[in-house]
Amino acid sequence: KAGVTQTPRYLIKTRGQQVTLSCSPISGHRSVSWYQQTPGQGLQFLFEYFSETQRNKGNFPGRFSGRQFSNSRSEMNVSTLELGDSALYLCASSQTTGPSGEQYFGPGTRLTVT
């Protein structure tokens, strides 16, 4: 099976712009989660989607949003970019619906905001 894919892998944007990141989960996986990884804050949970519904949400401002499509592919959007949004954004998919399932991570999208 193909792994989790994320596009684009690298992105450079300027402050004030918006950005959309895409994630394709492993085939058959219906849960998709997003994380922000920075050297200072580590891994921070953004949100989780299951069957097109947001099931969990982290403590991020409303500028961060996401959605999931009927084929389980997911996108996250960040509007009005700030310098502090520079980070590695990781997407992860899971086969199980409960909390015992492990997650499979994509390689991430490296976002740089200038």
For other proteins, the closer of residues 20 and 105 by Cβ is 105
For other proteins, the closer of residues 62 and 99 by Cβ is 99
**CB-based contacts of 27: which residues, under 8 Å, 6+ apart?**
1, 2
Minimum gap (Å) between residue 108 Cβ and other proteins: 5
Minimum gap (Å) between residue 91 Cβ and other proteins: 8
Provide the 3-class DSSP secondary structure of residue 78.
strand
For other proteins, the closer of residues 16 and 101 by Cβ is 101
Torsion, CA 14, CA 20, CA 102, CA 5, rounded to 10:
-100
Minimum gap (Å) between residue 41 Cβ and other proteins: 9
User: Under the rule (CB under 8 A), what is the footprint of other proteins?
Assistant: 4, 33, 35, 42-43, 45, 48, 55-56, 58, 90, 92, 98-100, 102-108
Residue pair 69/25 in contact by the 8 Å Cβ criterion: no
- What is the rounded CA–CA span in Å between residue 94 and residue 97? 8
